[in-house]
Amino acid sequence: MLIYKIFRPAEWQALQSQGSTSGAPIDLADGYIHISTAEQVRETAAKHFAQAGDLVLVSLEADTLGNALRWEVSRGGALFPHLYRDMTMADVIAHMPLPQGPEGHIFPETL
C-alpha cells in the first residue's frame, strides 16, 4: 500500500542531500514523521499546507517500513500512518511536484 509524505521544497532537498530526515518541525515536536494515506493526503494538504506554496509529494511503500510504521488514531478518529524512525531516500518509491493552485494544491489524477 502506498502512503504519502508532504514536504516543503527545502525539506525535500535536505532529504535528498543528507539521505535521511527526522521530518519537519511538527514531526520533531511529535516524535514521529506524519504520513497520510491516499484518502487522507488531500485533507492533510488543505489543513496543514493551505498557503505553503508549491510542495513535493513523496510516495512510500507501507509494507517495507516494518515495525517503525504505526497506525494511530488521529484526525476525526481515523488511523494515520506514523513513522517512528528517520525516513531515508531508500524508503522513497517516487516523488512528484504538488503545485499550489488558486483553490488549493493540485494532486495527480492517479492518486
Query: pLDDT tens-digit profile of 34-48?
Result: 999 999 999 999 999
pLDDT at 31: 97
The fraction of the chain above a pLDDT of 70, given in percent, is: 100
For the segment 13-28, the average pLDDT, to the nearest whole number, is 96
pTM summary value? 0.95
**Range 2-105 has CATH code 3.20.170.20:** yes
Find out whether 28 and 85 touch, Cβ atoms under 8 Å: no
CA distances 57 to 61, 73, 77, 92, 108, Å, are: 13, 22, 24, 10, 10
pLDDT for 94-103, tens place per residue?
A: 999 999 999 9
